[in-house]
Amino acid sequence: MRKVAVLLAEGFEEGETFTIVDVMRRLEIPCDTFYFDGPWVKGMHGMVLKGDKPFSEEIEGYDVVVLPGGRPGGENLKNNPKVIDLLQRWDKTPGKILSALCSGTTVLAAAGVIEGKRMTGYTGYAEKLPGAVFCDDVAAADQNLVTSQGPATGYPFAFKLAEVLGQDTTELRERLMYDFAGGITA
């Protein structure tokens, strides 16, 4: 089974992050959070999450990296040379998937891994994602890239990512009353 690594930097967006991890785990897709400076990481709204594992070489055994949004979470990821190096290496590695929401998409741009790829991002981010083929989809997948717009798109993003990993999300969407409530199918 393919494994998902969610990177936690100070200022991450809590709702996006919790939703992604919850959906992956409900679908029984192995998913761990990785922290940088200590296991307790403060989100942009003041919530504190205990990360699962320290950022280390162990991440190389994962197949997907998720960059949640959040201010200053996205900036903190963007300013971390270890994250940029990881994204650049994984972009060239067959089978590795890069994914991001909201301000996390700007980290992909900073790493130079979006050229010619169809992606989406937060409203007004087209100019922050130079070289990408920007679209207005809520969630998008192209080549080795999965992206979504940002706040309130955690579910469409997680479902899109799970589907890229070959999981059928129909039953979980039904249990969560997602489609019934008018949830967006990406």
> Could you give the CA distance from residue 149 to residue 125 in angstroms, rounded to a whole number?
9
- Per-residue pLDDT of 63-84, as tens digits, reads 999 999 998 999 999 999 999 9
- Rounded alpha-carbon distances, angstroms, from residue 142 to 16, 105, 131: 21, 14, 14
Fold of 4-175: Rossmann fold (3.40.50)
Q: 98, 27, 12: which is closest to 62 by C-alpha?
A: 98
Return the pLDDT at 124.
86
Please state whether the predicted TM-score (pTM) of the whole model is above 0.75: yes
- Strand, coil or helix: what is 127? helix
- Could you tell me the residue ranges of all domains in the chain? 4-175
| 186 has a pLDDT exceeding 60 | no
| 23 has a pLDDT exceeding 60 | yes
Cβ contact 105:118 at 8 Å: no
- Listed in sequence order, the residues at least 6 apart from 148 whose beta carbon sits closer than 8 Å to its beta carbon are 101, 102, 120, 138, 139, 140, 154, 156, 157, 160, 186
> Average pLDDT of 98-127?
95
Q: Give the pLDDT band (50/70/90) at residue 148.
A: very high
Return the pLDDT at 157.
95
Return the pLDDT at 178.
76
| 161 has a pLDDT exceeding 80 | yes
Q: Which of the following is catalytic: 20, 23, 102, 145?
A: 102
Active site residue 31: no
What percent of the chain is predicted at pLDDT more than 70?
96
What's the mean per-residue pLDDT of the chain?
94
Return the pLDDT at 1.
83
Return the pLDDT at 182.
66
Return the pLDDT at 71.
86
Helical residues (DSSP H) of 92-139, grouped into ranges: 104-111
Return the pLDDT at 183.
67
| 184 has a pLDDT exceeding 70 | no
Count of CB atoms situated within 10 Å of the CB of 94: 5
